[in-house]
Every structure is written in structure tokens, then in C-alpha cells.
């Protein structure tokens, strides 16, 4: 059925690039897959959404990227004030301009107050067009009641989705997709390892592109192409390392930084090892496919996840201990906080992590960005100064 199976490594990357570019405004691939797979389309707002449940209910989940410089939210600004970040405006603009008309449902979770309010603004204005689903993830995750509650929330989700597709829930189908999802995350983790171990062998924007593709493609298709691409990357001749600073990026957990920004940071003297945006794609980790009730497995994977998430409070997690270990494991020499303009959660994480970074003398700098930024001279100057101060000896 698909011509993609015969693609070579570089061709797969080009295909991923096309898929990603299409997932901002045009969504032609999504429409095509909607036909091909006979599935309904669901767009979900960052950060985490239980894709496996959507698939199990016959719904193809697509992560919404926002506009990222490709659309001007001129109408959406009538709903959201100037002091809100970009992604809710550009996503609302996509809704208003009809770009998302092929979608059947839009899902939101309790990541921040703006996203929360956006969900219900869309419901009030376009409730007849889309089913708006709002999930509240628990934060009291040391109590048994939290897991009980979250299971009810997932069952509510299943119920909502079955009303869209008419499909009945079958735990074995969910189990199948949990296995596929684990495979997808496995591929992504291996790619990430290559980048972390020998960063000169892969520019960060290449890694980022593959991760983005994994968020907006049918999981089986990605697993097929992704594993081939992984083999290709493993077989690629080695590049020569140059003197650059191994850098971890924090803060870009929801609003997507323009690719150009990553390029500029690497050009300024960095090897970017990881950023929150891609970290979150594999955050949920391996979900136990052998659990008796696969929904319990989904719940456990979220509730017991020991890795902090900017938007999730967890009573048992110590963020200071985490960040120290994180940069150590990455063997990083610098941290850049990439914070979206007007994004509060990102700024709060920065406030907490910088204390820990100070304690281990890890150099860091905070750089603001916006989806729609058209020039990068100020971030460039900041990044260059930062790396000049680490590289130059005078």
C-alpha cells in the first residue's frame, strides 16, 4: 500500500520533513491517513496525551504544534490577550480559519490555565464542529485514590471516544497499541542515545525533526520508517568532533521553538543533547503491556512516573535531585533555559532548577523565544556571549 517502505535513509528524513511541515497548517497527510486507516482524527494540545487509548478506540491522535511562524493569529487575538503565549492563539487561529476542519475532536489537559480556558473557548464557539475533551490529570499521586480517580478519567475518555467512532472498547486492542507505542519510544530513545553519545554525528534539528514526525504520524507507519532510519543513522560514517559545549535545553515543554533557534544555538558553539520538547515525547516510558488491565498499566505509567514534568506536581519527586542527576547523566557542561514569552510554568521550573544548578556550579543562561519570532539576533547574541564566556581563554 505504501511507497514509503522502499525509501532510503536520506529519503526517509525528507519524508519526515514533509510530514512535519504539513502538520502545522495544511494537514494533508492527516486527511489522507484518516481515509487510509478509516479512523477519526483527534488533535491534542501538548504536553502528554494517552495516544494508545485513542488508537484503541479507532481515533488517530495528532499532536498540535501551533503555528510556529506559519500563520498570523490576527483573529485569535480577539479572544486571547496580548499577555498570553503564542501557541493557544495560533491553535485557535487554525480552528477559526478552518485548517482543523478535518479533525473530529480536540483534547486538552490541565497543563496551564491558558490551555484550560482555550479548551472551553473552543467548545463555546465551535462545540458543534469538534468534540472538545478536557482531561484533569491527578497531582496527588502518592495516594491510591489518585490512581482510582485517573482510571475513571480514562474510562470517561474511552466513553467520549466511543461516542465519536461507535467502537466498543477492547482491552486486547489497547494492549496491541501499548506494545507499538513502547516500540516507537524505544526507537526514539536509541536515536537520542546516539545524539547524546556522539553529538557531532547528528545535528539537533535532524533529531528534532524525527521526534516531531513521531508525534504526527500513525504509530505503525512511524515504527516502520523510524526503525529503518535508526539503522541508517547507525551505519552513517562518523563526523569529526569540534570544540563545542555539551548543552541541555530546558523549558520548551509545550510551545515549539522555531527550528532556526536550535540551529543558531548550535552554531553559537553548542552541541544540543536534548530539550524538553523531545524529552516529553518519550516521557511516559515503557508501559507494562503484561498488566492484567491495560488501563491500569496506562494509569501506573503516568502516576508513578519518577521523572518530573513541568506541568505536573508530584509529592514524591525532588526536582533538585532530579536535575543534578539529569545533567550529570547527559554529561552536559551547560544548560540553556529556553522559555516561551509569557509562559509561566516554564519560568517557575527555571526558578527551581537554577538553585540546584548554582549548587553544582553548572553554567546556565535563560533565553526567551516566541513561536512567531521573525529574527533571531538577540538570542544569537546571548547564546554567542554565553559560549564565548565558556570557550575563550583570554
Partner 1 sequence: MITAGIDLGWKHTRVVLLEDGNKILVKKYIPTTFKLEEDAERLYNDALNDVGIKATDVDYIVATGAGRYRLKFRNANVTELTAGALGAKFLFPNTRTVIDIGTTQTRVMKIDDKGKVIKFMTNDRCAAGAGAFLERVALYTQVNLPDLGNIALQSKSPVTISTVCSVLAETEIINLLTLNTPLEDILMGAVNSIVGRVMPLIRVVGIQPEITLIGGTVLNPALIKSLSNNLKASINATMDTFYAGAIGAALLGYKRLMKVKGG
Partner 2 sequence: MGMDYVMGVDAGSTYTKGVLMNEDREIVALDVTLTGANINNAAETIRRKLLEKSGIKETDVKLVVGTGYGRYIIRFGNIQVTEISCHARGAHYLFPNTRTVLDIGGQDMKVIKVNERGDVVDFVMNDKCAAGTGRFVETIIKSFGLNFKDANDLALKSRRGIALSSTCTVFAQTEAMEHLAIGDAIEDIMYGVFKSVITRAVGLITRVGLTPELTFTGGLSLNPIAVKILETMLKTKVNHSDMTMFAGAIGAALYGVEKLETEKYIG
Partner 3 sequence: MLPDFPKELDKGKAIQAQYIRRHFSEELQKAPELKAKGYKYAYLFVMGNPIELLRPFDVFIGVYPEITSLNISYKGEAIPVLDAAEGLVGFPTDVCGYVKMGVASTYMANKIKVTVPVIGHMPEPDLMVLHYTGCQVYIHWWELYQYMFNTPVLVYDIPHLRHLEDTAKPHKEDIEYVAEQLKDSVPFLEKISGVPFDESKFKETVKITAETWDYWRQTIEMEKLVPAPYDAYFEAIYYMSMITIYRGTKDALDYYKYLLDELKARYKFINEHPEYAERFRLIFEGVPPYHNYKSFWNLFKRWGARMVYATYPKVPGMELFRFDPSRPWESEAEYMILPYCNINYKDRAEILAKYVDEYKADGVVVHSIKSCKSFSSNHGDFKEYLSKELDVPVLLIESDHVDPRYYSEAQIKNRIDAYFEALSLRAKR
Site residues, partner 2 (CB under 8 A): 69, 72, 74-75, 77-78, 81-83, 370, 372-378
Residue 359 makes contact with partner 3 by CB under 8 A? no
Work out how close the CB of 376 gets to partner 2 at its nearest, in angstroms, rounded to a whole number.
8
Residue 267 makes contact with partner 1 by CB under 8 A? no
Nearer to partner 2, 82 or 128 (CB): 82
What single DSSP character describes residue 241? P
Which of 238, 223, 215 minimizes the C-alpha distance to 190? 223
**By the 8 A CB rule, do 85 and 340 touch?**
yes
What's the order of all strands across the beta sheet hosting 131-135? 59-63, 40-44, 105-109, 131-135
DSSP symbols for 23-83: TTTT-HHHHHHHHHHT-EEEEE-SS---HHHHHHTTEEEEE----TTSS--TTGGGTS-TT
Work out how close the CB of 353 gets to partner 1 at its nearest, in angstroms, rounded to a whole number.
16
Residue 374 makes contact with partner 1 by CB under 8 A? no
What single DSSP character describes residue 333? S
What mask, x for binding partner 3 by CB under 8 A, covers residues 276 to 315? -----------------------------------x-x-x
Cα–Cα dist 34/23, whole Å: 14
Which of 241, 227, 221, 215 minimizes the C-alpha distance to 191? 227
Peptide bond into 47 cis (omega under 30): yes
Nearer to partner 3, 196 or 303 (CB): 303
Residue 331 makes contact with partner 3 by CB under 8 A? no
Which of 79, 49, 52, 84 minimizes the C-alpha distance to 63? 49
Binding partner selected for residue 350 from partner 3, partner 2, partner 1, none, CB under the kind-specific 5 to 8 Å limit: partner 3
Binding partner selected for residue 75 from partner 2, partner 3, partner 1, none, CB under the kind-specific 5 to 8 Å limit: partner 2
Nearer to partner 1, 83 or 172 (CB): 83
What single DSSP character describes residue 374? -
Residue 354 makes contact with partner 3 by CB under 8 A? yes
- Output the nine-digit C-alpha cell for 38: 478509516
Among the candidate windows 92-100, 187-195, 314-322, 379-387, which touches partner 1 by CB under 8 A? Answer: 379-387
Cα–Cα dist 50/175, whole Å: 13
Residue 163 makes contact with partner 3 by CB under 8 A? no
Cα–Cα dist 58/218, whole Å: 12
Binding partner selected for residue 385 from partner 3, partner 1, partner 2, none, CB under the kind-specific 5 to 8 Å limit: partner 1
Work out how close the CB of 54 gets to partner 2 at its nearest, in angstroms, rounded to a whole number.
34
Among 145, 290, 374, 375, binds partner 3 (CB under 8 A): 145
Residue 382 makes contact with partner 3 by CB under 8 A? no
Strands (E), the chain: 40-44, 59-63, 105-109, 131-135, 245-250, 270-275, 334-340, 364-369
Q: At what angle do helices 204-215 and 219-235 cross, to 10 degrees?
A: 160
Nearer to partner 1, 289 or 365 (CB): 365
Binding partner selected for residue 389 from partner 1, partner 3, partner 2, none, CB under the kind-specific 5 to 8 Å limit: partner 1
Among 154, 368, 371, 372, binds partner 1 (CB under 8 A): 368
Among 194, 259, 267, 382, binds partner 1 (CB under 8 A): 382
Work out how close the CB of 266 gets to partner 1 at its nearest, in angstroms, rounded to a whole number.
16
Cα–Cα dist 291/282, whole Å: 20
DSSP symbols for 187-208: HHHHHHHHHHH-GGGS-HHHHH
Residue 101 makes contact with partner 1 by CB under 8 A? no
Could you list the residues that contact partner 3 (CB under 8 A)? 77-84, 88, 110-114, 116-121, 123-125, 127, 132, 134, 136, 138-140, 143, 145-146, 148-149, 152, 311, 313, 315, 319-320, 339, 341-345, 347-352, 354-355, 366
Amino acid at each position: 500500500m505504501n511507497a514509503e517502505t522502499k525509501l532510503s535513509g536520506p529519503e526517509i528524513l525528507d519524508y519526515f520533513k514533509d510530514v512535519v511541515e504539513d502538520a502545522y497548517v495544511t494537514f494533508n497527510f492527516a486527511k489522507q491517513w484518516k481515509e487510509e486507516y478509516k479512523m477519526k482524527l483527534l488533535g491534542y494540545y501538548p504536553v502528554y496525551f494517552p495516544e494508545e487509548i485513542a488508537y484503541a478506540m479507532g481515533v488517530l491522535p495528532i499532536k498540535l504544534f501551533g503555528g510556529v511562524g506559519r500563520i498570523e493569529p490576527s483573529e485569535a487575538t480577539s479572544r486571547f490577550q496580548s499577555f498570553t503565549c503564542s501557541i493557544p492563539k495560533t491553535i485557535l487561529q487554525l480552528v477559526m480559519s478552518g485548517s482543523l476542519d478535518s479533525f473530529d475532536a480536540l483534547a486538552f489537559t490541565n497543563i496551564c490555565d491558558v490551555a484550560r480556558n482555550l479548551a472551553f473557548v473552543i467548545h463555546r464557539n465551535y462545540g458543534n464542529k469538534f468534540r472538545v475533551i478536557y482531561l484533569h490529570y491527578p497531582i496527588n499521586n502518592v495516594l491510591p485514590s489518585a490512581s482510582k480517580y485517573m482510571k475513571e478519567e480514562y474510562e470517561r475518555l474511552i466513553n467520549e471516544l466511543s461516542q465519536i467512532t461507535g467502537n466498543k472498547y477492547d482491552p486486547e486492542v489497547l494492549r496491541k497499541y501499548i506494545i507499538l507505542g513502547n516500540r516507537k519510544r524505544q526507537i526514539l530513545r536509541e536515536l537520542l542515545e546516539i545524539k547524546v553519545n556522539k553529538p557531532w554525528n547528528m545535528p539537533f534539528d535532524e533529531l528534532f525533526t524525527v521526534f516531531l514526525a513521531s508525534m504526527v504520524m500513525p504509530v505503525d507507519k512511524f515504527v516502520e520508517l523510524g526503525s529503518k532510519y535508526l539503522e541508517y543513522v547507525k551505519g552513517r560514517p562518523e563526523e569529526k568532533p569540534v570544540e563545542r559545549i555539551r548543552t541541555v535545553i530546558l523549558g520548551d515543554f509545550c510551545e515549539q521553538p522555531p527550528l532556526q533557534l536550535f540551529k543558531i544555538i548550535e552554531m553559537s558553539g553548542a552541541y544540543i543533547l536534548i530539550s524538553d520538547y523531545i524529552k516529553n515525547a518519550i516521557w511516559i516510558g515503557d508501559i507494562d503491556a503484561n498488566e492484567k488491565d491495560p488501563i491500569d498499566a496506562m494509569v501506573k505509567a503516568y502516576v508513578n512516573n519518577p521523572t518530573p514534568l513541568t506541568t505536573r506536581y508530584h509529592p514524591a519527586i525532588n526536582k533538585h535531585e532530579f536535575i543534578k542527576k539529569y545533567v550529570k547523566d547527559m554529561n552536559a557542561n551547560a544548560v540553556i533555559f529556553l522559555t516561551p514569552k509569557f509562559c509561566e510554568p516554564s519560568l517557575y521550573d527555571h526558578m527551581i532548577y537554577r538553585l540546584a544548578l548554582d549548587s553544582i556550579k553548572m553554567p546556565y543562561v535563560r533565553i526567551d523565544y516566541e513561536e512567531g519570532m521573525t529574527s533571531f539576533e538577540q538570542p544569537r547574541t546571548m547564546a554567542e556571549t554565553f559560549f564565548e564566556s565558556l570557550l575563550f581563554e583570554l
